[in-house]
């Protein structure tokens, strides 16, 4: 699988990219939604992992773009803010993960993506501990 990870925090971006590589998948990085849109227009991705709050184009806008232009791409949204997670879900994210999330939870969201119907959003708020 090929994934695109989008986050304006370079530490989180690097951490998620490393995790995805450990799972055996290809990964590209974008520091905001605008850069992600440019990459999406040039390349093919199976999954987009995006933070909610970013400059220029945020995760909600990115999610709407992906679902309008490439509804076959699975979108995993993430945030430390429950209201932002709900907004990602409303924008079309297939799975929403509250930060912080565990390695197993993240891997499951990626690996099981084909088992989630594209017409149905899954709000995976299994953890009540949230961090920004």
Question: pTM score, two decimals?
Answer: 0.84
Query: Exposure pattern of 72-111 as b/e (b: 16+ CB <10 Å)?
Result: ebbbbbbbbbeebbbbbbebbbbbbbbbebeeeebeebbe
Percent of the chain with pLDDT over 90: 82
| pLDDT on residue 129 | 36
Mean predicted lDDT score pLDDT of the chain: 87
Per-residue pLDDT band at 130 (split at 50, 70, 90): very low
- Residue 60 contacts residue 93 (beta carbons within 8 Å): no
Homologous superfamily in CATH for domain 2-123:
Response regulator (3.40.50.2300)
| pLDDT of 21 above 90 | yes
One DSSP character per residue, 57-115 reads: S-HHHHHHHHHHH-TTSEEEEEES-HHHHHHHHHHT-SEEEESS--HHHHHHHHHTGGG
Where exactly are the structural domains of the chain? 2-123
Alpha carbon 34 to chain centroid distance?
14
Per-residue pLDDT tens over the stretch 70-113: 999 999 999 999 999 999 999 999 999 999 999 999 999 998 86
d(CA 100, CA 66): 24
Instruction: Specify the higher pLDDT residue, 124 or 90.
Output: 90
Q: Per-residue confidence at 120, pLDDT binned at 50, 70, 90?
A: very low
């Amino acid at each position: 699988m090929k994934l695109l990870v989008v986050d304006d925090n370079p530490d989180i971006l690097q951490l998620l990219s490393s995790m995805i590589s450990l799972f055996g998948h290809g990964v590209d990085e974008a520091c905001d939604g605008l850069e992600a849109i440019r990459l999406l227009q040039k390349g093919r991705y199976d999954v987009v992992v995006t933070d909610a709050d970013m400059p220029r184009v945020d995760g909600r806008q990115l999610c709407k773009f992906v679902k309008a232009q490439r509804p076959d791409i699975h979108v995993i949204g993430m945030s430390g803010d429950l209201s932002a997670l709900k907004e990602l879900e409303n924008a079309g994210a297939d799975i929403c993960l509250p930060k912080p999330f565990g390695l197993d939870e993240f891997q499951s969201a990626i690996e099981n993506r084909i088992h989630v119907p594209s017409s149905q959003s899954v709000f995976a708020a299994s953890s009540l501990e949230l961090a920004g």
